[in-house]
Structure 1
Amino acid sequence: MDAKPAPFIPPAPRPRQKPPSTLQMMRIVYRNPLELWGEPSYNEPWISISTGIGGPLVIANDPALIRHILVDNAKNYRMARVRQKILRPILKDGLLTAEGDIWKRSRKAMAPVFTPRHIAGFAQPMLRVSEDFAARYEDGAVVDVARDMTMLTYEILAETLFSGEIAGDPDDFAHQVDHLFETMGRVDPLDLIGAPDWLPRITRLRGRKALAFFRGLVAETMRMRKEKLSHDIEGSPNDFLTLLLKAEGPDGLTAQEIEDNIITFIGAGHETTARALGWTLFCLAEATWERDRVEDEIDEVVATTPDPYEWLGKMPYTRAAFEEAMRLYPPAASISREAIQPERWRDLDIVKGAQIQIMPWTIHRHRKLWDNPEAFMPERFHPENREAIDRFQYLPFGAGPRICIGAAFAMQEAVIALGVLMSRYRFDTVPETNPWPVQKLTTQPQGGLPMRVTRRQRP
């Protein structure tokens, strides 16, 4: 009997052995925050730093502490200032950045689209778009899988939530997304030292053109749909876009809030799934024994189950590979909060104004929470092993009241996309495949993911 292969260890920064200086810290946070974290972040239940850049800091790794902050006493924790300084210029009062009553109104307005019944209805459009996308591949071509997954998830989002009626050219969109995240998606050093808002941030100045592109795209998308609805054109889509536009009014959303939420979903709603799909294909290409198992499962299910809505339940190995890729490369690598009032949790004192960092990046690789945490081991998420994972040690979609509203949508989309792509093609790394994880708004592969796409000879 063959011995089980050693698990694949995908690329990641090694924990720092000593704290960086203040100047080093600012450089690292701007360049790639994933390179900041030291040994204690991967070993301790929490770290409390009384002073430092931005004031008192608590790094929360313990699942019980995370539950306390995000669920049990969530009312005492608001969005952290530095996080808001990065995201609010882009998203304003979109669902990711809104707080208080504005957030509640937006969440309530969008909830009907993300019910299980509606998500089930998205399965066929997800399948159609994935099949059309796969048909464009040429056998043996080398492509940038990272960019391709951005395009695929954008096209799925456009078809399902906007009925294919987003203004503009998808190629322009992909380019502008990259530029927006490269500029405005980074922490600016001036934000770390608490510089006044009137001081210009170079990162945001460089991203203005891309942001103007998105705002213009959203305004034109809204205008086109409003014109359709005003003429009561037969067959006007009753989708996410229409639902939001009809929510405008004194008891609903303002026109500005609708625009902010549309840009949130167009600009960021597809990006997290795209990154996770790219990392999944990369990890499976390097762990061929895992890929063989996933391909066998996909071949069987695709051949025997015509309804793609049933794929998620029938593809546990495929789902597990995707979830393990999200563990190693969480699309949103940090969750930031700020304490409104002081409190004591067990023997940890949390002062008023403390910045709370809940880092899926370090929590998902924490040595007290996971066996062999640096390795790609999808069996962690096989059905017989799932119960061993604490709800608050695995946070790809966050947790608590602000958990990602599109989590079920993303899981269904990912399994359908993988099912279509991997049933037709095998994705292999090439000598140029040398990704390095970099945290911008999402965990991105620096240098992209060049991979060879070869048509599979299915049984």
Structure 2
Amino acid sequence: MSNRVTAPAATAAAEAPAGRPFRAPAPVPHSQPLGFASFIRTASRNPIEIWGTRAFKEPYIRGAWLGVPNIVVNDPAGIRHCLVENAKNYVMQPLRQRILRPLLRDGLLTAEGELWRRTRKAIAPIFTPRHISGFTEQMEARSVLFAENLAARSEGRTVDASHEMTLLTFDILQETLFSGDIASEPEGFARSTRDFLGSMGRVDPLDLLNAPAFLPRLRRLRGRKSMNFFRSLIAETIAKRREKIARDPDGTPHDLLTLLIKAEGLSNEEIEDNIITFIGAGHETTARSLAWTLYLLSQAPDERALVEKEIDEVLPTLTHPSQWADRLVHTKAAFEEAMRLYPPAPSLNRTALRADRVGDVDIPAGSTLLVMPWLVHRHEMLWDRPDHFIPARFLPENRDKIDRYQYLPFGVGPRVCIGASFAIQEGVIALALLLRHLRFDYDGRKPPEVVQRITVQPDGGLPMRLSRRR
């Protein structure tokens, strides 16, 4: 698109002075358009660097790529129209599918049409409030154990918070998804998961050029071996659980895997695809959001003090972890603000089946619709000081000021993330138990460089020095 521009390294950022909000690092938008070759290089390396200043100021932007019209929609009313009111007119964009479908196959994130509707109907009962409430006890138990172990092995040392949060959410995932009952040693399974996730979300130049699928994508070829091994582990774990259900139905764990196997209408392959989707889209996104929250709190002492005070005073009064997300309002607000600044799903791209119109912009049939939480969440039209960490935006008394369609951490419309409530509960519980006794202080020589893969993540990790609060 002609409006896209390059961006240098992340902006310099220092800990916010008392009483002043912290400006979160991000690639710096530019005002000059990219040339063809420069666009390919930038989009392949870090897609969020392609956006220019117009994209953060205007409600709609029109452009084109390889002759296909591209329409960026930042206006909440336009987002509501396209992704909710007229959602049937917009299907998954081919570029997105070329990147994710070889990995996730027929999982809920990439399935379309009747397959998606059938899968969504089968899986929806698994994420009811009743089931999620039960999972919070497992989230609490694993988070307590993880925090204790982290303190014992790393107090006074610098750790990579991004890596540590991946370990924590993986631990929670193993417990809630498999009850620890996997067809591998936990360390081997964790290593396989890491290798698999490392191959996800990478844009290959051939994808951008709309090259035929039979041409090999070198970046994904490197991950094919780990993907095949990972899938074999998942298939073996499913078979093992089916045997257990047949042998001892009353003694079988009542976890996500059992619920998936018992769901009506899902084949073995579809169960496998959706487990991998939960791991890739759920575990990874929550881990990144937790790490970013720890980083942002470390740079905003006043905000961290509010969260710590709330945890100290409110947490002891709560009787069940399912209450925490509603009662720990400052903790939840910090987590939600982190997801605004670093959205778990930075792009929601579609292709228009038929011509449409939003605002004063025509959307031709076959054009690409770009709804980018990365842009919407930092848009000057929608937010006061959009680049700053201000959790108070998400406190209960302020929440009504945020339009439903200007905050999209879990997407929107029929394809909204089915595990959104699960992720919020997990994030608040994990943060509360980490910060109850521990403090994380950023220890990098420069601000983290922000890159887009399947999620928005810190390139090279988040070095943070760990100490005990009490």
TM-score bucket (shorter structure)? over 0.9
Matching of residue 421 in structure 1 with residue 434 in structure 2: yes
Greater mean deviation of Cα atoms: 376-385 or 341-350: 341-350
Matching of residue 166 in structure 1 with residue 166 in structure 2: no
Q: What's the Cα RMSD here?
A: 1.6
Matching of residue 154 in structure 1 with residue 170 in structure 2: yes
What residue identity is the alignment partner of 2:61?
A: I
2:317 paired residue among 304, 310, 328:
304
2:450 paired residue among 419, 437, 450:
437
What residue identity is the alignment partner of 1:114?
A: F
2:132 aligns with 119
Q: Is the 8 A contact 2:126 2:260 kept in 1?
A: no
1:189 aligns with 205
Matching of residue 48 in structure 1 with residue 96 in structure 2: no
1:246 aligns with 262
2:217 aligns with 201
C-alpha distance in 2 between matches for 1:343 and 1:85: 25
Write out aligned runs for 1:205-220 (5 A).
Answer: 205-220=221-236
Q: Is the 8 A contact 1:434 1:447 kept in 2?
A: no
Identity of aligned residues (%): 55
Q: Give the drift of 1:259.
A: 1.2
1:30-49 superposed Cα distances (whole Å, 9 cap, x missing partner): 10011110011100101111
Q: Is the 8 A contact 2:392 2:398 kept in 1?
A: yes
The residue matched to 1:333 in structure 2 has which SS?
A: coil
Greater mean deviation of Cα atoms: 140-149 or 291-300: 140-149
What residue identity is the alignment partner of 1:11?
A: P
2:6 aligns with none
Write out aligned runs for 1:353-392 (5 A).
Answer: 353-392=366-405
1:251-291 superposed Cα distances (whole Å, 9 cap, x missing partner): x1222111111111123321111100000000000101110
Q: Is the 8 A contact 1:433 1:449 kept in 2?
A: no
2:25 aligns with 11
2:299 aligns with 286
Matching of residue 35 in structure 1 with residue 49 in structure 2: yes
Greater mean deviation of Cα atoms: 339-348 or 127-136: 339-348
1:156-208 superposed Cα distances (whole Å, 9 cap, x missing partner): 12212322223334444444444444434211111111111111111121110
1:351-389 superposed Cα distances (whole Å, 9 cap, x missing partner): 111111111001100001001111111111111111110
1:261 aligns with 274
2:5 aligns with none
1:401 paired residue among 414, 420, 424:
414
2:340 aligns with 327
2:108 paired residue among 95, 109, 119:
95
C-alpha distance in 2 between matches for 1:312 and 1:132: 20
C-alpha distance in 2 between matches for 1:232 and 1:178: 32
Give the alignment's TM-score, normalised by structure 2.
0.93
Q: Is the 8 A contact 1:54 1:192 kept in 2?
A: no
Q: Give the drift of 1:17.
A: 1.4
Q: Is the 8 A contact 1:15 1:35 kept in 2?
A: yes
Q: Give the drift of 1:111.
A: 1.3
What residue identity is the alignment partner of 1:77?
A: Y
Q: Is the 8 A contact 1:17 1:39 kept in 2?
A: yes
Write out aligned runs for 1:59-74 (5 A).
Answer: 59-74=72-87
2:37 aligns with 23
CA separation of 1:54 and 1:159: change in aligned 2, threshold 3 A: farther
2:465 aligns with 452
1:229 aligns with 245
For structure 1, the residue ranges without an aligned partner over 5 or more in a row are none
Matching of residue 79 in structure 1 with residue 79 in structure 2: no
What residue identity is the alignment partner of 2:106?
A: D
CA separation of 1:148 and 1:32: change in aligned 2, threshold 3 A: same
CA separation of 1:344 and 1:315: change in aligned 2, threshold 3 A: same
Give the alignment's TM-score, normalised by structure 1.
0.95
Greater mean deviation of Cα atoms: 406-415 or 149-158: 149-158
Moved beyond 3 Å, runs of 4+: 169-184, 431-434
